[in-house]
Structure 1
């Protein structure tokens, strides 16, 4: 429970989850539908008994109606907001509902307005963490209890009973249901994220790599720089396991992951895709990728006990589809094995052999390793 309570939420993860599944139009439609419902409810306030002076109440209603219409226009026609922007909008929605509650001259009508708090709450519970939903619930509860107290003190003969009943219903609808929903969603999201991560190294696993490619494909395809792929495989890792045992072997894998992460830099995506095999992706030129590969090789060769070395294959090319990534990856994999055949503890560099644009038009794989020679196989020595 403490871990759940300290969880800040992951707005971008939720948005990306919907986007990857083509559900953003449906999500927009849901938020817009809530805005339309709020606008219609606000419009009805012009025909209700409001607090005096009426001209001021009607001016406030008109302002609220304009904001409700603006909400609909913004969410439907403008780019999806950032976490901060959306948070401000949901907070303003809460404030607007509280103002609408206070405009009624009849306390029962005022209390009947408070279930509208469920609309922003339904969004906050998925996009933000438990503290955000707690703040929303506290604000809604104060508004509900204030309206209920107003009703209980009215001159209705059944005022107290009605106030208690209506307040309990409003609290259930707008507050009580959200914590268990948020907790359940957090469990599902956490399990989903954990399924994409290698527990030993805390790097992405093979499934995490596929998820990264699917979520970043638009960015990768629109880049003017080629996608560079490094395939890194430890040399003779089986001997380390046989001599030192699996516990030490796991420590070597974890150490190697940290060395690769540090050498690859903050912009790189690093994954562990096999027992002792790692993949690094980044957008950069092939010479820059070769320099990174040499840094990775040298970092792994650093004097540690037990000593480890690695063979690194490098390939690069423009990417327009997942199939083209697979071709670049296969090319880097082949060059890595070429480095192993040349003695290991070295890098091998390959490139795009054919024109990528022509390949996209024909649907064929355009990437194959260059013939390896002394110019593109290096063991780090001068």
Structure 2
């Protein structure tokens, strides 16, 4: 499989950490502005629904006007919700977009053909939101709904064959929707994913960096599962840099990263979090974590190809789900315990593993 196809597969499979996206925007003071813009868009869609309802091109039946009037109220209420309430959870966010999609499509089926075709392009707005805040699968579902909506509108237009029908306009609208929701929005989301992945990666080792570790931690801290963190710090690495130069030091780091990635479980998060410090987080109990740490220690020792022996001091912190009743540790606490254990391994001369089971005294 070539690199491009592999990247596409990773984009399709990798979930978006919704909370991380919000935290990043909040840290840059951009979340409040975006929240107000989305609220204004909701009010705008509500106003559009009112104008359509009152237009001569709008629904001719009382029931049709009532339905569009209802969606106008929903649009205004949704806009006010964005202004007045906190940012929605991931599931609530998807629900709001689903309601908006339903309102846009239903409105298109109740108005004249020309208005319906223009109305369908509003689905591009909801698709843009999904592009930024949700994953590839949600965007694909939206694309399928958008295409179905356009097909329904154009089929209805041809079936009615009213005086306002325009086959060329219908074809143009279909092409616009296909280009936007099938090509442009997924392409933008894919390259957004590429940029995000690059920002979360260490350029030397291609492992996650500190920000990438923070991005992946929430999905690993699930209730009902054991969780372990390992801090791997290379011994005598400064001697390698001082004796052989930083280029050789970089090669040692790259080799170490490859060994860690090959030795750790495929589902584990492996990150370079300092100059010669690496962090591994995985769902392992204390026995499995100790065994993995020993394999990593041996792998690092055996990978040394310089005159100065490069080994690793490894601190391991494990929280078993059996101790859930005592309170699950925060990520910072788990990593802090692993860091303390790593320094204990350093004090013992390096090339050593020290394990701390949270809730038990440090050995």
Q: TM-score range by the shorter chain?
A: 0.5 to 0.7
Distance in 2, Cα, partners of 1:215 & 1:118: 30
For residues 330-378 of structure 1, the C-alpha deviation after alignment (integer angstroms, 9 at most, x for no partner) is 866654543336xx435498xxxxxxxxxxxxxxxxxxxxxxxxx96xx
Aligned to 1:31: 38
Q: Contact 2:231–2:339 at 8 Å: present in 1 too?
A: no
Q: Contact 1:312–1:339 at 8 Å: present in 2 too?
A: no
Q: Residue 298 of structure 1: which of 294, 301, 310 is its match?
A: 294
Q: 1:16 to 1:30 in 2, by over 3 A?
A: farther
The SS at the match of 1:177 is helix
Distance in 1, Cα, partners of 2:300 & 2:274: 22
Q: 1:257 to 1:193 in 2, by over 3 A?
A: same
Q: Residue 78 of structure 2: which of 71, 75, 80 is its match?
A: 71
Distance in 1, Cα, partners of 2:124 & 2:334: 44
Matched, 1:142 2:151: yes
Q: Contact 1:272–1:279 at 8 Å: present in 2 too?
A: yes
Distance in 2, Cα, partners of 1:16 & 1:181: 21
How far is the alpha carbon of 1:41 from its aligned partner?
1.3
Distance in 1, Cα, partners of 2:298 & 2:75: 62
Q: Residue 191 of structure 2: which of 184, 187, 192 is its match?
A: 187
Matched, 1:165 2:166: no
Q: Which runs of 5+ in 2 are unaligned?
A: 222-227, 245-249, 305-310, 318-328, 357-361
Aligned to 1:122: 128
Distance in 2, Cα, partners of 1:174 & 1:235: 58
What is the aligned residue count? 320
Q: Residue 154 of structure 1: which of 143, 162, 169 is its match?
A: 162
Q: Contact 1:271–1:278 at 8 Å: present in 2 too?
A: yes
- Alpha-carbon RMSD across the aligned residues, in angstroms, is 5.2
How far is the alpha carbon of 1:36 from its aligned partner?
0.8
How far is the alpha carbon of 1:166 from its aligned partner?
6.0
Q: Contact 2:108–2:120 at 8 Å: present in 1 too?
A: yes
Q: Which runs of 5+ in 1 are unaligned?
A: 221-227, 283-287, 350-374, 377-382
Q: Contact 2:270–2:278 at 8 Å: present in 1 too?
A: yes
Distance in 1, Cα, partners of 2:118 & 2:98: 20
More deviation in 189-198 or 249-258? 249-258
How far is the alpha carbon of 1:99 from its aligned partner?
1.7
**TM-score relative to the length of structure 2:** 0.62
Matched, 1:340 2:349: yes
Distance in 2, Cα, partners of 1:177 & 1:67: 26
Q: Residue 97 of structure 2: which of 90, 104, 107 is its match?
A: 90
Aligned to 1:107: 113
Q: 1:11 to 1:140 in 2, by over 3 A?
A: farther
How far is the alpha carbon of 1:304 from its aligned partner?
11
Q: 1:150 to 1:112 in 2, by over 3 A?
A: farther
How far is the alpha carbon of 1:3 from its aligned partner?
5.1
Based on CA coordinates, which of the two structures has the bigger radius of gyration? 1
**TM-score relative to the length of structure 1:** 0.60
Map 1:2-81; keep pairs closer than 5 Å.
2=5, 6=9, 7-8=11-12, 12-13=16-17, 16-22=20-26, 23-49=30-56, 50-52=58-60, 54-76=61-83, 77-81=85-89
